[in-house]
Amino acid sequence: MPQITVDYSEQLADAFDRPALARELHARTVEIAAAKPPACKTQFRRTEDTVVGPDAGGHAIVHITIGLLAGRTDETKARLTETVLQVLRQHVRPVEGLTLHASAEVRDLDASYRKYDA
């Protein structure tokens, strides 16, 4: 924990430095949500198809989900979400001809969450 997932349209593959974004997301999550640095994990998932409304062209999406163990206040989650969007703005370059739709959410991991390191 935390489990961070970044889903992004394939048209953005060259528009941002994913390791740099992950490092910044980890730092902000530690700062705001009191996570432990070695526990931060980020996965990037490139999506092939993006459709916004009736239009399949000219759009790109980045959605960041941060799963945390329960116990953070709604205010902490909202602050982290806003910060995540600010960080994303700093790390994604505009791509000519694309409108970027960026979003983020912070959610509580289910009580059934378990992990192991091997």
Per-residue pLDDT reduced to its tens digit, 15-26: 999 999 999 999
Residue 26, domain member (yes or no) = yes
pLDDT tens digits along 73-110: 999 999 999 999 999 999 999 999 999 999 999 999 99
Per-residue pLDDT of 61-81, as tens digits, reads: 999 999 999 999 999 999 999
Q: How many domains does the chain have?
A: 1
Q: Which two tokens stand for residue 103?
A: 């979003």
Give residue 51's pLDDT.
87
How many residues are recorded in the chain? 118
Confidence band for 57, pLDDT divided at 50, 70 and 90:
confident
For residue 23, give the 3-state DSSP assignment.
Answer: helix
Q: How far is 32 from 39, CA to CA, in rounded Å? A: 14
| CB of 71 closer than 8 Å to CB of 30 | no
Q: Which domain holds residue 44?
A: 3-108
CATH (domain of 50):
3.30.429.10
Report the 10 Å Cβ neighbour count for 45.
9
* Domain presence at residue 115: no
* 28, 68 contact by CB (below 8 A): no
